[in-house]
């Protein structure tokens, strides 16, 4: 796995980084307005590089895609005769605006949290990420971004895994080629980046594995010859990944 130093795309550091929203029935009862404000702040932060009018595509296992992506088989370096993407937020009739995506995440989080005032477990099941690693791999074209939903059921002793692995892809001469260039962000709490095998090792041994990804205002380059995925034990953390 190759690890690159963070690339700074902006000199503006947002004071809200490090915001970590922990859910409990008591906190929801005490200050629902403050809770919603914190949720809104974190969601705005996740989509801070997009305009509200930009189009994103809700993905089958959660999260939103900006741009183009394709499902790719594992263990290949190229896909002959593959010249089209399976998902494209600019042309799909299922795409929605970033403003609508924000609204959906905020409403589902807050409504679920209000239900938790009488049943915390109910809330923990609202936006549960995978409890075990997923082998599904998406190829992102350069500059295309995946925005995850909130890992609401992650806790200190309960790691949750992203629903997808990722690699960067590009099309040339009638063939799709697999690249190893990815950039990552985590919002709301730190996470880990690694291969499916690395994630499975942590899942089966309960020993922390992978490369740590800290909360930051900048993208961190982590790439490798195998697909990579994200996992976390930070309640309500989210991640972004893009091809570069």
> What band does 61 get if pLDDT is binned at 50, 70 and 90?
confident
pLDDT level of residue 130 (50, 70, 90 thresholds): low
pLDDT of residue 206 exceeding 60: yes
Per residue in 16-46, pLDDT tens? 333 344 443 333 344 667 878 888 999 999 9
101 near 46, Cβ under 8 Å? no
Is a pLDDT exceeding 90 seen at residue 99? yes
**pTM of the shown model:** 0.80
When pLDDT is cut at 50, 70 and 90, the band that residue 110 belongs to is confident
| All structural domains of the chain with their residue ranges | 2-243
Q: Residue 32: what pLDDT?
A: 67
Averaged pLDDT for residues 151-162: 83
């Amino acid at each position: 796995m190759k690890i690159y130093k963070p690339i700074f795309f902006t000199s503006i550091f947002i004071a809200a980084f490090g915001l970590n929203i922990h859910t409990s029935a008591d906190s929801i009862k005490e200050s629902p307005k403050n809770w919603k404000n914190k949720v809104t702040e974190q969601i705005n932060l996740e989509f801070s590089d997009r305009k509200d009018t930009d189009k994103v595509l809700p993905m089958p296992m959660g999260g939103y895609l900006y741009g183009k992506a394709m499902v790719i088989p594992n263990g290949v370096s190229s896909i002959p005769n593959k010249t089209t993407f399976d998902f494209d937020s600019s042309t799909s009739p299922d795409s929605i605006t970033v403003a609508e995506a924000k609204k959906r995440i905020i409403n589902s989080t807050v409504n679920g949290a209000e239900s938790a005032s009488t049943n915390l477990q109910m809330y923990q099941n609202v936006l549960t990420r995978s409890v075990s690693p997923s082998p599904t791999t998406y190829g992102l074209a350069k500059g295309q971004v995946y925005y995850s939903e909130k890992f609401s059921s992650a806790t200190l002793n309960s790691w949750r895994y992203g629903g997808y692995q990722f690699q960067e892809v590009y099309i040339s001469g009638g063939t799709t080629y697999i690249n190893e260039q990815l950039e990552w962000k985590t919002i709301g709490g730190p996470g880990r980046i690694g291969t499916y095998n690395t994630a499975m090792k942590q899942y089966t041994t309960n020993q922390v594995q992978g490369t740590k990804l800290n909360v930051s205002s900048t993208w961190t380059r982590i790439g490798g010859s195998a697909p990579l995925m994200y996992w976390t034990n930070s309640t309500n953390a989210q991640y972004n990944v893009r091809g570069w």
